[in-house]
Amino acid sequence: MDRVNTNYEVLSDEAGRPIKAWTVGVPFEDEAKKQLRNLRGLPFIHKWVAVMPDVHRGYGATVGSVVPTVGAVVPAAVGVDIGCGMIAVRTTLRADQLPDSLRGVRSAIEAAVPHGRTDNGGRNDRGAWKDSPVTHTAAWARLAEGYARIVAKHPRIGRGPELAHLGTLGTGNHFIELCVDESDGVWLMLHSGSRGVGNRIGSHFIELAKQDMERFFIHLPDADLAYLPEGTEHFDDYVFAVSWAQDFAAMNRELMLHSAVEALKASGELPPFELSESAVNCHHNYISREHHFGKNCFVTRKGAVRAREGDMGIIPGSMGARSYIVRGKGNADAFHSCSHGAGRVMSREAAKKRFTLEDHAKATAGVECRKDVDVIDETPAAYKPIDAVMAAQADLVEVVHTLKQVVCVKG
């Protein structure tokens, strides 16, 4: 029987195994609930599955889910965008120092950071480096040994770009934004992950987990919930590869932030400025070893951010909505987590069919950004209202800064 707690909904089955969902006042689709019930039924779930207010149906496992496990991990519960996350930093710029037209600012960022995808990801892909900058090559040197170890055992993972994607944005909901906060301070914020190499790692181990389920004669309600038992070779290989991809993703964001800052300083569009606060850099698709309710466990967050007491995090809205710099409250029932954004309220295909360019231009009025047909699937109305999402998780985080974008670069 389902019920509503003061702060969250509880979805229970006959055995009493709960799903605790911070979804009061926000859409919670039936398909997502079905996925979560399948996930909740796995025998190695620790206590319950926690659900964030940006929840929506995902590949294999639900986006906006926090999955604590003992003795096994589910690769699809991380997904293929391993280490995807956010980074943001406040500058010394003030809103009144920005030019009337921000087109030159957007152009400077677009010229400095490869973004998008062309040529089917081939040699002429504009979203990859043809010649990586020296700083990026030096950063890759710190990752190369771990990557070689992964590829030595799983050669398929090595069949694609890695260094050429380090310091690049990608496509979909990844973005770079210039934002103004509640005190007219100017921030630089971006969203991206481990790019093609993370996708190859995720896809490879999801398939290996499915093969292991067949070999062990384990039948699941959803084949995408195939898991890797602790103590097996594939488990150890996967945990190492995920950790490496998370490091790649964090470095990817740091390099892009540096490139964007340097490009803006050299653009001639802005007065001299510096960075005034330490950058907030957080994952939201990843695995972490943590201790909850008396047990050491693996916590898999897919579309969720760790929000221990005092942890700083970023919760972005859509292209035309506010975003938030937050501080975690350390809510134990949520396994110290919060949402990773607003969360989709409809699929990309549905958004393309429903909204027009006029709708998108109106929703992004005042934002210097792409307003063409290829970004209709990212239009604000394709996402849940960020205000409702924040209200639903008031006991998970407190708002430190409220940001509104004035420039948005999309792949």
Euclidean distance between the first and the last CA atom of the chain, given in angstroms as a whole number: 44
Angle at 51 between CA 319 and CA 402, to 5 degrees: 35
Mean pLDDT, all residues of the chain: 94
Residue 6 has pLDDT above 80, yes or no: no
Judge whether 81 and 194 are in contact, CB under 8 Å.
yes
Instruction: Return d(Cα 177, Cα 194) in angstroms, integer.
Output: 19
Judge whether 287 and 41 are in contact, CB under 8 Å.
no
Instruction: Return d(Cα 314, Cα 283) in angstroms, integer.
Output: 10
Residue 24 has pLDDT above 80, yes or no: yes
Pairing relation of β-strands 18-21 and 9-12? antiparallel
pLDDT tens profile 134-179: 999 999 999 999 999 999 999 999 999 999 999 999 998 999 999 9
3-state secondary structure of 220: coil
Residue 1 has pLDDT above 50, yes or no: no
Instruction: Return d(Cα 176, Cα 267) in angstroms, integer.
Output: 16
| Whole-number pLDDT of residue 222 | 93
Find the radius of gyration of the CA atoms of the chain. 21
Pairing relation of β-strands 49-56 and 18-21? parallel
How crowded is residue 218: how many other Cβ atoms within 10 Å of its Cβ? Answer: 11
C-alpha 295 chain-centroid distance: 27
Rounded to two decimals, the pTM is 0.95
3-state secondary structure of 178: strand
Provide the H-helix boundaries in 41-186. 103-112, 134-153
Provide, rounded to the nearest whole percent, the portion of the chain with pLDDT above 90: 91
Active-site positions read 340
pLDDT tens profile 394-406: 999 999 999 999 9
Torsion angles phi and psi, residue 116, rounded to 5? 85, -165
Mind giving me the DSSP string for 234-294?
HHHHHHHHHHHHHHHHHHHHHHHHHHHHHHHHHSSSS----B-SPPEEEESEEEEEEEETT
Exposed, middle or buried by CB within 10 Å (0-12, 13-18, 19+), for 17?
middle
pLDDT tens profile 214-245: 999 999 999 999 999 999 999 999 999 999 99
Say what the alpha-carbon torsion angle 242, 173, 343, 75 is, to the nearest 10 degrees.
-20
Query: Tokens 């924040």 correspond to what residue?
Result: 390
